[in-house]
Structures are given as structure tokens and as C-alpha cells.
Structure 1
Amino acid sequence: MKILNNDLLPALSGKLTLPEFDRETLTSSIVHIGVGNFHRAHQAYFLQQLMEKTGETHWGIYGVGVLDQDKKLSEALNAQDCLYTLCEKSDTEVAKDVVVGSILCHSILSEKRQEIIEKIVHPGTTLVTFTVTEGGYNIDDTTGEFLLDNPMIQADLANPSAPKTFYGLLYEALRQRRAAGIDPPDLLSCDNVEMNGSVLKKGLMAYTQQIDPEMARWMEEYVAFPNAMVDRITPVTSGTDREYVAQQYDYADNCPVPCEPFILWVIEDTFNRKRPAFETLEHVVLVSEVRPYEKMKMRLLNAGHVVFAHMALMEGHEFACDFMNAAPFDPAIETMMREEALPCVGDVQKIDVNDFLNNTLLRFKNRAIKDQTSRLANFTSERTPKFILPTIADNILREGKMSPLLTIGTAGWCYYLSKNEGVVDKIAVELVEKAQRAVAGESRVFVQELEAIFPEVLRQNEPFLALFDKALSAIKTQGPATALTSFLNEYY
């Protein structure tokens, strides 16, 4: 079976959607660091659409992998001329398969360090973008400070000209641009991180300050770090995805990407350099302030995704679409979003929040997207303080009102941790110890002693603590699903 590549494209005409621009004219004004599935389902797809609409084929992507574990994907992409199949999956909406061709090449930092630095230094590179995951920004979750003691960061500080991290790479490339009198590129984070541009700036400035405070002042004045909100559910690629492409189109693709049809990108229009004409694209929103959009997404979609994941996992639901379609989780998620989260979101310009909520519920139930429940249940100590607890606190501060469903979801997390069965979290040992004490009878220690997770308004609020006690007791005595049903019936 032939492998997907440029030469195969003419034979695929009429079978699926292909790039509608001449790839021979493709050049890369964009360097992207962290070419994972989400980038390829989101930014790379948008840029293909942009080049098709505008004919500006210089907005191609030079991909960079910072980690050696990226080598396998890099080899697969380059063997396919960096083409891949984006497969939209839906059981209710019109979905399509698209060959995406916006990535020009992919390089690994440890293998092509000098070439990558030269690419970023080149005056034609006007935008550097990132999907390095939340943990990749090297920011302490508790203090919010840059982790200077990270051995990789220390190695780069000791030898700045041979960087191993993306911070070291950016510093060295920007240093060379400044020395050559070349304006810096804009730096745009595309990670699912709150105020991602500000987080990127904090890390890069902290790193640079250790080497050259004057360089840090130059960055502060001349480098733009727009914030952005990104949204598209994108599972891990499976063997089934590769088999689907082979059976459907009679070619081999070793790195297809499954995703849902829904897509959204909200970007602060605070660029310094000439940017891509994002305003020409559907589902891209340019704004002056991204925070209201992030709040809407975190309080509705992100909270809805994870709040009952641990309870669903204990009830044997392997995939998110399974429990999102099953009682009591289905009505509980919708009720939580409408009654507890929505009042805290507020108005969001250019978007109907009720439409977003309704669409989110449909997206959750999409049985064609096999998003593992275990993935949603991982690293909850990072997610709960951002997605769930702020709504509980807001309802208390605004109206003195409790949030029973968000609270029992938090108690479900505690009960899951107490079992200590495959817990994946940066502070797993501490979480399990507190959870086991809570389930054994000291229920409030889970809230009151995890000060880095639970804000003071919750640690000291007697009605919330009492409701948490009640929720944890119900789960212990009745089981997760029955306890959730009881809370739904009692409070709503």
C-alpha cells in the first residue's frame, strides 16, 4: 500500500478534501514548537484554510520537537512530506476527512539545533507558536513562579549557545536577532492554559533575567505575547484510526489525527508583526481581552469534562462519551452547567453563551470520539483549582449559595484517590494520604490541609465543609452513581 505523500495527492482528488493550494509554493513564516495531535487538529488546520482563502502560502509551518520522544512522529511526518489525514468524528453532525498540508517540515532540537536556531533568527520568521502542554511551561502550580532549579533549565543557563529547552532556544535565537538588528517575532501560545501568553512571557522573562537583564528589558519592550483560547476535542491516535484511513482511501498514513467537528480559536489581537489574516476565517475570533472567553470555557466545558470523571471511572465507564450519555451523569452534567456554572460566566462578546453550553453538551455525547475517562481523571490537582473550585467559591461569595453537584464531584475525586489505584498526579502521594484519612473519618482534612488546591473561602466555610462531608459519606455508603442520583433529586 502506498504511503501518503505529495505524489499521491492527484490520485486522491474527489475522494477526500485536499489542500487547495500549490504545496510547491509553500514557505514557512511560522515556527511551531510542539507538533502534537492538538496542534495538527487546530492551528495547522486553520492555517491551511487561511492559505486556501488568501493565497498567502508563506504562512506555512516549520515544526520543531524539543523532546527526543518526538522523534517517532517527526520521522513519520517527514516520510509523508508532512502530510497527514485529519479525521473528524461525529455520530450526529456532518464530519469530513481532510489531508492537511500546512506543515513544511519537522525537526528535532537535539538533531538540528543550529538549523532551528537559524530558522527562528531568519527575518522571514515573524511568528513562533507553541503547544508544549501545561507542564512544559515550567511554572510551579503552587507559587506561580518559574522553576529555575529544573536540571534542564540549569543546563541551558550554563551553556546558552546549545539549548535543550524551548526557553533556551528562544533566548538564543532572540539574542542573535537582536544582535543583528532584526525585529523579534511575535510569540503565540496555543496551549489549553489560562492566559497562556502571559504564562509564556513569565517563563521566558525569568529565564532571560538570569543571563542578561538588559535582554529581558528589550523583550519586555519589543516582543508580543498574545493570549489565546483554543478549543477542539482531540483524542490520541489509535490503530483503529490508521486502519480507517487505509480501508477508506487505500493509502497508509502513520500519523492521522482524530478530532471532533467543533473548532474555536479566540486570539488577542496584540501582535507587533504582520500576522496571518485570521479575520478571514470562520471560528476564529479576534478580541482585545481573552479572559471572558477562557472563563466561559473553563467553567462550562472543562468543568463539565472532569467533574464526574472519577465517579464515572469507578462505575466502569471507559470513555467520556459513555458516561456523558448515561444516567445519572448526563442529567447531572447539564444541571451543573446550567444551575451552578452558567450564572458565574457572565456576558461574552461575539459568542452566545447559551449556544456554547448547548453545543458543549452535544459534543460531550459524541460517541464517535473515544476520549478515555482515565485521561480526564489524571492530574486533577492542576484542573480542580481552575475549573471547579472557582465556581463553588463564586457562588458562595455572590449569593451565599452552595454548588451541590460540583461539591459531590470533588468528593468523588477524594474517594477515588483513597483507593490509590493508578493515580496519576504530580502530588499523588500527598493526595492519596489526605484522601485516605478523609474516607477513614477525618473528612475535612482533604479540604482544609490541601491549601495549595482549596482557597481559604472554602477551607473555612462551614456550609461547604458540611456539604462535602455529606457528599463523601453518600459516596462511601451508596456508591458513586447512587449518591449522585440522590444529590440530583434532593437539590434539583
Structure 2
Amino acid sequence: MTRLTPAALPSLPETVGTPDYPRDPASCGIVHFGVGAFHRSHEAMFLDRLFRHDHAAADAWGICGVGLLPGDAAMRDALGEQGHLYTLVTRAPDGTTEARVIGSIMDYLFAPDDYDAVLERLASPATRIVSLTVTEAGYPVDDATGEFRPQDRAIAADLASPGAPTGVFGLIAEGLRRRRDRGVPAFTVMSCDNIPGNGRVARTALTSYARLVDADLADWIEAEVTFPNSMVDRITPATSDAGRAEVSSILRLDDAWPVLSESFEQWVLEDSFVLGRPALETVGVQIVPEVEPYELMKLRLLNASHQAMSYLGLLAGHTMVHEVCRDERFRAFLLGYMHAEAIPTLAPVPGIDLAAYCDQLLERFSSEAIADTLARQVVDGSARLPKFLLPVLRDQLAAGGPIERMCTVIAAWSIYLERDEGVVDARHDVVVEAARQEPTAPGSLLLVADVFGDLGSVPRFREGYLAARETLLTAGPLAAIDAVAAAV
């Protein structure tokens, strides 16, 4: 079958939208680190939508993607052979699908091929925004204290050789140093990762690294670079072979790396851009002066609920998100977490009915059309739980509020780690070893300070965790859920 390429676009079915705007790699105004499925279903999609309405914007704001990890070589090859085009198929809860070919990624650099090419792209006056989806674990900032962690593996390597960096923050700092030395204005760093205060965290990571390398550069970055906070939302599973086959049947062409996502989309973005920005508000992005209420709503309701369902769901023998969310006991457990434990920690969110938002979340989670896996949700749990669930726990402990469901979730995580059947985590050895000590030293996992900070010494949490763990081990996950419902 013919491969998706720019030359093949005229042969696509009329029902498939295609880019009709100029695509010049030399004019990219955005450099993006971490070209995964989510970026391609979200930021790249919004820009593609903008370019279709405003061709002039395509001449200024195209994306140059950057891959840093060895596995990103596959993305380089797949996108390179397709002229950096790919297909996005969105699925509504009722199963309705819509397909479009996205063209907003106009170039792609695999950094290990030529790190200096990445640095020169960052230093180019054409680059005005550097955006990031490097996962929750990609920021060298302590979740509990908010302090920079210079011992982070990528940071430590770049500190040893700051003139030849290979990590994301080392590369950005060196790119900014070149701009400063050449008299080129600083760009904006825009995080699109699921982290509370993601712009603030990116600022801490970058300026703290730079201060260890060049204090004057750090001062310049603090004065000149802006770091807008954002909230992003679109459930986007990893691409499967079945997804590729589905896209091929729609296109009547082969696409090596399509993206399939839900139809829902949301992007709330702080308006803080030092060298301008695309007119994203014209294509559905909410540009606001303060992102935090929206951000906390999403992190504590959607992302934390994914953690809440996934460990318990896996222990119950489920593999898919929709399977869990169609079980009435799990639905009641999730709604109980949302309404009793999470919502009381949230401030009012402008324009949002939180009860309706929770109902919408369950509708989205229950959609079989998305085919999202629990395994995807539990990657890097030691980074996700401190960002999504533990802030709710801290607030409820301070207020004397309910914590039973959160204790049950964290206890389920400990059993998942102890069994170590497919655990994927940047702190794998540390957290798995701590969990394996639980039978002889109860509460060992809670003493992993990089995850829990001082929470492990809080008696109420510790007691709730140990009780929940005992119920899970002796009676199983469904009985543990029922026990919580009876207790509250």
C-alpha cells in the first residue's frame, strides 16, 4: 500500500482533512521537545487548526520537533519518510470518528544525530517558543519541596559537560546562552506537561541548572524568559498496530505513526509570551490570566482518578480503563473520591460546574472507543502520584477531611510494586525494594522521601494505609472498595 506523503494528499478521501497551508521547515517558530502521541493530538493539532484558518500563521509558527531518547529515532524515521505528516483520528463516546492529516510539524531533529543542530535551532531568531511534553518525571524538581534536584541523571551529566549538553534543560540553557551572546532576544518556555504550576516548575528547573553553570546567564534567563502555566487535557493512548490498521483503512494509505485520541479537547493557557504567540484563542484555546484553578481541577479530578482506578483495576484483573469505569462499584469509588476527597480541596473554577465535570469524566473514561489501557496510566507512578493524588491528601490531612479512598489507592500501588509485574518507573529499584520490605517492615514504602516527603510520618495516613493494605491482601480489591464505602 502507498505511504502517506505530501504527494499522496490529493488521493485521500474527501472525508479526511488535509493541510492546505505552506510548510517551510526554515520558518518554524516553535521548537518542541517530546513529540509523543499527546503532543501530536494536542498542541500540534491546535496549530494545524490555526494554520488552516490563517495561512500566514503557518509561516511564523510551524513546529520543529526534537527527540532526545534512543527510542525517538523511530519517530525521526517515520515522520521523515512522510514529510513529517501524520494522521489524527478522534473518537467520540458514541463511536463517531473524524480523521485529519496534521501538517504543523514541519521539521524534526533527533538530537543524538547532531546536538549542535538542536542548539542552533534554539539559538535561531526564528525560534520564539520552546514547548515541552517531557512527562512528569522529566523535571528535576522535588515534588514535596519544589526544590531543584541537581542529582537528576540528565542534569548531572550536563553539569559535567555544560558546553556539550544532551538533556532538555541543558540544551535549552545553552541555546539561550548563544542567543544572549549573539544579541538575540530570549524565547518563551512553555510546558505542556501534567504538573501543578508547570511553568513555575520549568522556571525552577532551567534557572537552577543555569545558575550552577553560569550565574550571569541564570540572571538573564530570570529577567528575560517567560514561563506560562498551562492546563492540557485530551486522553491519547499509545498508537497500536490495530490503530495503524484502522487508519490505513480510512486513508487507503499507510501511516507509520498515526495518533488516535478522544474527541474531547481542552487547553487553558496563561498569556505570558515574551516574543509573541500564535492566535490560539481563535481555535478553541482558553487564554486566561490565571491557570491554577483549571489546572488543579484537572490534576486532582482527571489525573488523580486515573491513578485511583488503575492500581485497583489491575489488582482486580482488568486491563482497560473503560472496563473499570463500567463497573458500578468502581464508578461509586471514583465518584466518592472526586466529591468527598478532591472537590473540597479545590477553589471555584470560572465557568465550570464541578459536579457536571465529574460526570463528564466518567463518560469519557467509560468510552470503549478510546481503548485506553491501565498499563499506560501507571507508568512512572512515583512521579505521578506526588503530583496528582498526594496534594489532595496533604490538604485533607490539614483540614481533617476524609482520606480513606486515597489510602486504599496508595496501598494498591504498594502491592502492585511488590509484585513487580511490568512496573515501569524511573525510580523502579527504589520503590520496588521499599514495597518488598512491607511484609516485615510495614510502612516501608511511605519512607521513600522522594515520593512522600514527610507524609510517611503522619500517623493518620500511615494507619489508614496499613489498614487498607491489609484489607487488599486478605480480601481483595473489590472487598476493599466495599469496605471504604461502608466506612464512609
TM value normalised by structure 1: 0.91
Distance 1:150 1:385 in 2: 17
- Name the SS for the 2:324 alignment partner: helix
Specify which structure has the bigger relative contact order, considering alpha-carbon pairs within 8 angstroms and separated by 6 or more residues. Answer: 2
C-alpha distance 124-382 of structure 1, shift in aligned 2 (>3 A): closer
In the alignment, what sits opposite 2:237?
Answer: 235
2:16 paired with 1:19? no
Match for 1:244: what amino acid? E
Structure 2: how far apart are the matches of 1:164 and 1:446?
32
Could you tell me whether the CA contact under 8 Å between 1:230 and 1:266 is conserved in 2? yes
Q: How far does residue 233 in structure 1 lie from its aligned partner after superposition?
A: 1.1
Deviates more, 1:327-336 or 1:257-266: 327-336
Residue 36 of structure 2 corresponds to: 36
- Displacement, 1:126? 1.3
The change in CA–CA distance for 1:235 and 1:161 in structure 2 (over 3 A counts) is: same
Change (3 A) 1:458 1:64: closer
Give the Cα–Cα distance (whole angstroms) in 1 for the partners of residues 220 and 383 of structure 2.
Answer: 33
For 2:190 and 2:480, the matched residues in 1 are separated by 44
- Equivalent position of 2:325 in the other structure: 324
Structure 1 distance, partners of 2:255, 2:421, is: 36
CA change 1:22–1:381 in 2 (3 A) is closer
* Letter of the 1:386 counterpart: K
User: Where does residue 341 of structure 1 map in the other structure?
Assistant: 342
Counterparts of residues 42-61 of structure 1 (less than 5 Å): 42-55=42-55, 56-57=57-58, 58-61=60-63
How far 1:465 moved relative to its partner? 4.2
Task: Measure how far apart 1:453 and its partner are.
Answer: 3.7
1:87 to 63, 86, 89: 89
1:176 maps to what in 2? 178
The partner residue of 1:474 within 463, 471, 474 is 471
Query: Structure 1 residue 485 and structure 2 residue 482: aligned?
Result: yes
Q: Secondary structure at the match of 2:71?
A: helix
Tell me how large the CA RMSD over aligned residues is.
Answer: 2.5
Distance 1:64 1:458, change over 3 A: closer
In the alignment, residue 279 of structure 1 is paired with which amino acid? E
* CA distance, structure 2, for counterparts of residue 91 and residue 373 of structure 1: 18
> Could you say if the C-alpha distance between residues 392 and 118 of structure 1 is closer, same or farther in structure 2, counting changes exceeding 3 Å?
closer
1:287 maps to what in 2?
288
1:80-479 to structure 2, matched below 5 A, reads: 80-92=82-94, 94-141=96-143, 144-150=146-152, 152-282=154-284, 284-398=285-399, 400-439=400-439, 443-447=442-446, 449-454=447-452, 456=454, 459-462=457-460, 464-479=461-476
> What is the aligned length?
486
Aligned partner of residue 307 in structure 1, secondary structure: helix
Q: Secondary structure at the match of 1:293?
A: helix
Contact 1:129–1:187 (Cα < 8 Å) also in 2: yes
Contact residue 86 and residue 258 of structure 1 kept, 8 A: yes
Contact 1:26 1:60 in 2 (8 A): no
Cα deviation, 1:49-101, whole Å, max 9, x if unaligned, reads 11222332121111111233211111110111111001113442643111101
Q: 1:431 offset after TM fit, Å?
A: 3.6
Tell me how far apart the structure 1 counterparts of residues 154 and 401 of structure 2 sit (CA, whole Å). Answer: 46
**Structure 1 match to 2:78:** 76
Deviations, residues 247-289 of structure 1 (Å, cap 9, x unaligned) = 222101001011111111111111111111122121x111222
**Fraction of identical pairs, as percent:** 36
Q: What amino acid is aligned across from residue 319 of structure 1 in structure 2?
A: M
In the TM superposition, residue 42 of structure 1 has moved relative to its aligned partner by 0.6
Taking the aligned partners of 2:414 and 2:117, their CA distance within structure 1 comes to: 48
Q: Distance in 2 between matches of 1:421 and 1:89?
A: 31
> Following TM superposition, by how much is the alpha carbon of 1:333 offset from its aligned partner in structure 2, in angstroms?
1.0
Measured against aligned partners, the alpha-carbon deviations of 1:162-220 in whole angstroms (never above 9, x if no partner) come to 33222232222222221222211111111222222222222221222223211111111
Amino acid of the structure 2 residue aligned with 1:165:
G
CA distance in 2, matches of 1:408, 1:156: 40
For residue 113 of structure 2, what is the amino acid of its counterpart? E
CA distance in 1, matches of 2:351, 2:298: 14
Query: Which letter does structure 1 place at the counterpart of 2:171?
Result: L
Deviates more, 1:417-426 or 1:80-89: 417-426
Give, in whole Å, the separation in 1 of the partners of 2:146 and 2:229.
17
Q: Is the 8 A contact 1:189 1:197 kept in 2?
A: yes
What SS does the corresponding residue of 1:362 show, helix, strand or coil? Answer: helix
Structure 1 unaligned residues grouped into runs of 5+: none
Check 1:406–1:243 CA distance in 2 against 1; reply closer, same or farther (3 A cut): same
Tell me the amino acid that sits aligned with residue 460 of structure 1. Answer: V
Following TM superposition, by how much is the alpha carbon of 1:140 offset from its aligned partner in structure 2, in angstroms?
Answer: 4.4
